[in-house]
Amino acid sequence: MKCALPLLLLTGLVWNSLLATGSDKQASGGKIRVLLTYGGHGFAQEPFFALFDALPDVVYTKAPLPEAADRLRPGLEKEFDVIVMYDMVRGISAEQQKSFVELLNIGIGVVSLHHNLAAHREWDEFRKIIGGKFILEDCLIDGKRYPKSAAIHGQTLNIHVADKEHPITRGLTDFQIEDEVYGPFYTSPEIHVLLTTDHPQNNPEVAWTHQYGKSRVFYFMLGHGPKAWSHPNYSLILARGIRWAAGRL
């Protein structure tokens, strides 16, 4: 009898917490809820969104930036598991930047794709969020001078799996992909590199994980257009990256 009341309380607490998260999960059918940002750079919209339509365990909501930038604030973590960023907006307001950092300090998954490396060019904190920066104007970072990065289309990249144990890249073997190359760009010393390339005009780092505040961040440099998106490893890595950022891999 002594433990009956605490057990009852505990059962009630567990049930309540299940109910609290249950309603959100029910709405998405247990799928990972993604807020997908884009804007500030052209892209082939139909095949890009088709790529996300085909991800079996993802439901997504489009968030064009900078129009929808007010959504990136505390509270979003209750509506979405992961923000996938494919935007290359020049900037959002100082207040929106502050709210976004507050959200990341609470915790939400972040997957940053391709030209998102060049987004928020004047906001220094953004390179600390995603762990890298495409340099649009010569600049100093941590006392080191970085010249302008270049982007070249239609290149063949040999992709090497640098971490064969990580859940995002486990079981993958080295592969070739036709895509755009970027380089040289800034990478944080704190990133954990998953994929590399030996392409002379690209940084060695192609995909990495990073932590910012309480948020898991996955950056994936590939993905300029349909040629890259249609590579079987592209959707596989994207799907795993989303799952990992959501804490479900």
Segment contacting Zn ion (CB under 5 A): 53-61, 136-144, 216-224, 227-235? 216-224
User: Which of the ranges 78-86, 126-134, 142-150, 218-226 carries the binding residues for Zn ion, by CB under 5 A?
Assistant: 218-226
CB-facing half-sphere around the CA of 188: CA atoms within 13 A = 21
Contact of 238 with 131, CB cutoff 8 Å: no
Quick one: which of 77, 81, 180, 205 contacts Zn ion (CB under 5 A)? 180
Closest distance to Zn ion from the beta carbon of 115 (Å): 5
**201 burial class (0-12, 13-18, 19+ CB within 10 angstroms)?**
middle
Nearest CB to Zn ion, comparing residues 114 and 243? 114
DSSP string, 107-139: --EEEEEGGGGGSSTT-HHHHHHHSEE--SS-E
Q: Which of 121, 224, 231, 243 binds Zn ion (CB under 5 A)?
A: 224
Is residue 87 involved in binding Zn ion (CB under 5 A)? Answer: no
CB of 219 to Zn ion, least distance (A): 14
> Closest Cα partner for 109 from 67, 60, 146?
60
Which residue has the closest beta carbon to Zn ion? 224
Q: Which two tokens stand for residue 211?
A: 């932590």
Strands 109-113 and 58-64: unpaired
As measured in angstroms, the least distance from the Cβ of 151 to Zn ion is: 6
In the region spanning residues 106 to 165, those forming contacts with Zn ion, defined by CB under 5 A, are 115
Place of tokens 């990256």: 241
Rounded to the nearest whole angstrom, what is the least distance from the CB of residue 114 to Zn ion in the complex? 6
Write out the residues near Zn ion by the rule CB under 5 A: 115, 180, 224
